[in-house]
Amino acid sequence: MAEVRRRGPSPIRGIHHITGLVGSAANDLRFYRDVLGLRLIKKTCNQENPTSGWHFFFGDRLGSPGTIMTNIILEGVPMPKTVEGRGSITDVSYSVSPGSLDYWRERLTAAGCACSDRPARFGDPVLHFRDFDGISSELVGCEDTRMPELADLPDEHQIRGFHHATLAPRIPELTVQFLVGVLGFEVVATEGSRTRLAVGGNEPGKLIDVVERRDGPWGRHGLGGLHHIALTVDSVGDMEKWTRILAGAGLIVTGARDRGWFHSTYFTVPGGINMELSNLDPGWTVDEEIDSLGRILSLPKHLEAHRTAIEAALPAVEF
Ligand SMILES: [Fe+2]
């Protein structure tokens, strides 16, 4: 009998989106759309608990993977502030051109955000700030050929997308071992206690830094913190294959969930970091034209029957 070979999944392509938890829809819009200049590409509810609040997606004009910052908005929900500690995703970093950091320092300061220079990282300058809800964020000045085509900022200063995310896992060596051995990351650089890993290419939007933090508090999810990092896979079929691999490695994996514009499967990697795999189909234009993304309340098919109740429950927001 001919041997039947089961093909493995296509490799992971880089970061798809990064998700935070925040407490104010108005602040979220004002910060990511009006200050950072990103495009609101989709507004939906928190699909795990549809009447609990909004979920906004911001990104480049097309909502390209590697540019998408999303926030679950728990307005009026009695959730404590996040504790950034061991087991946290501590920072989300965006890339801008190297000459843009002075522009951004001035723009963020004018918006009321305290900025501070951090030591150069792998040779690139880093500017730290927090969004209006406290999410720890950075701009990295670097060469990045992506052009986000955002309408409201001068081209030379636009945020190109994610540069990297920084993790402070509980046991950093376990996390590095897992990212390399199971998910296919490569270690591309080290600097002090920081290890840079890349997946799908050694370039902005495909990088994750693991830092060793041997003391200080354990991290805790809460408002003003980063909740998970989603990585891009090619298809739902690939997601299913990766789900089997992750389960085989001993992880609890949710399996693919239909989010309306893509599917997602969730898991926690050793070291305590929440991650997700997302594919790209059917994409943002399944329910809106590309030029009018982010205007309607978008819901996946299985939530459409509850649209009236969801619309009634979501806090009023002036878009
Ligand atoms: Fe997500």
Cα of 123 vs centre of ligand 1, distance in Å, is 30
Cα of 229 vs centre of ligand 1, distance in Å, is 7
- Alpha-carbon distance 196 to 208, whole Å? 6
Q: What is the pTM of this model?
A: 0.97
Percent of the chain beyond pLDDT 70? 98
- Alpha-carbon distance 264 to 73, whole Å? 19
Beta partners for 17?
68, 230
Beta partners for 79?
none
Task: Give the model's pLDDT for residue 6.
Answer: 67
At position 213, the amino acid (one-letter code) is: R
Q: Provide mean pLDDT across the span 193-202.
A: 98
Helix (H) or strand (E) holding 55: strand 54-59
Asked whether the beta carbons of 173 and 162 are under 8 A apart, the reply is no
Say if residue 1's pLDDT is above 60: no
Q: Provide mean pLDDT across the span 159-170.
A: 98
Q: What integer best gives the mean pLDDT of the chain?
A: 95
pLDDT tens for each residue of 222-266: 999 999 999 999 999 999 999 999 999 999 999 999 999 999 999
Say if residue 4's pLDDT is above 80: no
Say if residue 214's pLDDT is above 90: no
Cα of 19 vs centre of ligand 1, distance in Å, is 6
Give me the residue label for tokens 């880093």: 126
pLDDT tens for each residue of 62-77: 999 999 999 999 998 8
Cα of 230 vs centre of ligand 1, distance in Å, is 6
Percent of the chain beyond pLDDT 90? 94
Task: Give the model's pLDDT for residue 64.
Answer: 97
pLDDT tens for each residue of 18-40: 999 999 999 999 999 999 999 99
Omega before residue 148 within 30° of 0, cis: no
Task: Give the model's pLDDT for residue 113.
Answer: 96
Asked whether the beta carbons of 25 and 40 are under 8 A apart, the reply is no
pLDDT tens for each residue of 83-110: 999 999 999 999 999 999 999 999 999 9
Domain boundaries, the chain: 15-313
- Alpha-carbon distance 81 to 23, whole Å? 9
Helix (H, G, I), strand (E, B) or coil at 266: strand
Task: Give the model's pLDDT for residue 151.
Answer: 85
Cα of 134 vs centre of ligand 1, distance in Å, is 19
Q: Which residues have CB atoms below 5 A from the ion given as ligand 1?
A: 19, 230, 276
Residues 6 or more apart in contact with residue 303 via CB below 8 angstroms: 45, 47, 50, 310
- Alpha-carbon distance 317 to 149, whole Å? 26
What is 15-313's CATH superfamily?
A: 2,3-Dihydroxybiphenyl 1,2-Dioxygenase, domain 1 (3.10.180.10)
Asked whether the beta carbons of 206 and 15 are under 8 A apart, the reply is yes
At position 17, the amino acid (one-letter code) is: H
Cα of 38 vs centre of ligand 1, distance in Å, is 18
Cα of 99 vs centre of ligand 1, distance in Å, is 32
Cα of 138 vs centre of ligand 1, distance in Å, is 20
Asked whether the beta carbons of 218 and 170 are under 8 A apart, the reply is yes
State the Cα angle at 147 between 166 and 142, rounded to 5°: 45
Say if residue 5's pLDDT is above 70: no
Task: Give the model's pLDDT for residue 152.
Answer: 85
Q: Provide mean pLDDT across the span 141-146.
A: 96
Pairing of strands 207-211, 161-168: parallel
Q: Provide mean pLDDT across the span 188-198.
A: 98
